[in-house]
Structure 1
């Protein structure tokens, strides 16, 4: 990731310099929770993935799954997997852009999946692989990470912990947040991380989904 700060320290060097404030012992318990709930999530999500996979094929052209490169823990890149909620090749003319309210690229089925977060069910596989956690900052694309890093020097601090399916920023605004606001909430989560904090975020996520206030 070729990202430069004004003082010529690149992103990876900066991350190594600031490190992570979370003790490894706490991260072990976090990983154990991810594995247990990740396995459960995979088993529960399989029927839903099959049903909505069929709906995606019947209502829009393109593949069922959407794979995209993201930036994860300490700048490591990986591929996130989701059920496709946008038109096929939705960014062919625009390039990488930030998701927004009432995004015209989203299909009717995709709109429902995003509201209920069904499109994110395949990410339980990312959790089991260790690329993602159940709770953490939302992983961004390399192009956007570079753009935000140039504008907000604090942005790389989000990469000090494994990214998550849900997180403190997601339950406090989601797509309505600016990158700067999201960055501040993510860094607050990292600085105040605890096992109980994760459980609270997971509980609040479930409440938001059942209230119909999921991500767009």
Structure 2
């Protein structure tokens, strides 16, 4: 009942209300990133959703497209702009995913959508994370986010899939707000983003 009817309805209602409430901030960040990036304010990328179905995730673009003389993109550290750094540090880069929630591609709470190329590396247990819609925040995020190892992250994802409820979703949302305010667990060690997942054989 909750997963089929109530959760989708709550997702749509809360995402719509949130977008309306923060629309001035959304517009301000968009304008600042367009200027700072000298181009698009949005980063759009393919991600696997429920049952592995591919969709296009939307995030604020925190890095520019600068390349070295050989035409290869520079490291995350060298491409992260000043505005982008502030947006990422406060987790505001996730705001556009509310649009994905309105489109029914994501949920407010669920396993984070990773890269399509990771699908081939999941074992049977890890693949269970795709039984539900991916989320803007999730059980793994409030338990360590990028500070977790891949094994720990997948363990929390599967645990969520097997036990999620209105109470757990509310708990995750409340903890997420607290963690965003305290800016806790954004990066793993000295990496700007999590290291790539290469499966159990890596």
Q: Do both proteins adopt the same fold according to a TM-score greater than 0.5, normalized to the shorter chain? A: yes
Partners of 2:126 and 2:183 lie apart in 1 by: 30
Partners of 1:214 and 1:47 lie apart in 2 by: 27
Per-residue displacement from partner, 1:172-205 (whole Å, max 9, x unpaired)?
1112222222111100111111110000000001
Q: Aligned-pair distance for 1:60?
A: 2.5
Partners of 1:131 and 1:73 lie apart in 2 by: 8
Q: Aligned-pair distance for 1:113?
A: 1.3
Count of residues in correspondence between the two structures: 183
Q: Which residue of 2 aligns with 1:113?
A: 87
Q: Among residues 51, 65, 75, which one is paired with 1:88 in the alignment? A: 65
Q: Which residue of 2 aligns with 1:54?
A: 31
Partners of 1:167 and 1:139 lie apart in 2 by: 10
Q: Among residues 157, 162, 174, which one is paired with 1:186 in the alignment? A: 157
Per-residue displacement from partner, 1:76-98 (whole Å, max 9, x unpaired)?
100001110122277x737xx9x
Paired residue secondary structure (1:169): helix
TM-score by length of 1: 0.77
Cα contact 1:45–1:121 (8 A) shared by 2: no
Q: Which residue of 1 aligns with 2:173?
A: 202
Q: Aligned-pair distance for 1:106?
A: 2.6
Q: Which residue of 1 aligns with 2:13?
A: 36
Per-residue displacement from partner, 1:2-31 (whole Å, max 9, x unpaired)?
xxxxxxxxxxxxxxxxxxxxxxx1212111
Cα contact 2:62–2:83 (8 A) shared by 1: yes
Tell me: higher relative CO, structure 1 or 2? Use CA pairs within 8 A at least 6 residues apart. 1
Gaps of 5+ in 2: 188-202
Partners of 1:107 and 1:190 lie apart in 2 by: 36
Q: Aligned-pair distance for 1:38?
A: 0.9
Gaps of 5+ in 1: 1-24
Partners of 1:109 and 1:181 lie apart in 2 by: 31
Q: Which residue of 2 aligns with 1:13?
A: none
Cα contact 1:62–1:88 (8 A) shared by 2: no
Q: Which residue of 2 aligns with 1:162?
A: 133
Paired residue secondary structure (2:139): coil
